[in-house]
Structure 1
Amino acid sequence: MEKFFERLMYRSRWVLAPIYFGLSLAIVALGIKFFMELAHLLVDIVVLSEADMILIVLSLVDIAMVGGLLIMVMMSGYENFVSQIDIDADEEKLSWLGKMDSSSLKAKIAASIVAISSIHLLKKFMAAESIDNDKLLWYVIMHITFVTSAFAMGLLDVLYAKATKHKNGD
Structure 2
Amino acid sequence: MEKFFETLMYRSRWALAPIYLGLSLAVIALGIKFFQEVAHLLLHIWEMKEADTILVVLSLIDISMVGGLLVMVMMSGYENFVSQLDLSGEEEKLSWLGKMDSSSLKAKIAASIVAISSIHLLKVFMAIQHTPDNKLYWYVIIHLTFVASAFAMGFLDTVSKKSN
Give the root-mean-square deviation of aligned CA atoms.
0.4
State whether structure 2 residue 30 is matched by structure 1 residue 30: yes
1:20 aligns with 20
TM-score of the superposed pair, with normalisation by structure 1? 0.96
Which TM-score applies when normalising by structure 2? 0.99
Letter in 1 for 2:124: K
| 1:65 CA drift (Å) | 0.1
1:8-56 CA deviation, whole Å, 9 max, x = no partner? 0000000000000000000000000000000000010001000000000
Distance 1:150 1:15 in 2: 29
The secondary structure found in structure 2 opposite 1:120 is: helix
Residue 90 (structure 1) shift:
1.5
Q: Measure the CA separation in 1 of the matches of 2:110 and 2:153.
A: 8
1:102 CA displacement: 0.1
Query: 1:89 is matched with which residue?
Result: 89
- Give the Cα–Cα distance (whole angstroms) in 2 for the partners of residues 161 and 33 of structure 1: 40
Provide the secondary structure at the position in 2 that maps to 1:86. coil
Instruction: Name segments (4+ residues, structure 1) moved above 4 Å.
Output: none
* Identity across matched positions, percent: 74
2: CA distance, partners of 1:150 / 1:10: 31
Structure 2: where are the runs of 5+ without partners? none
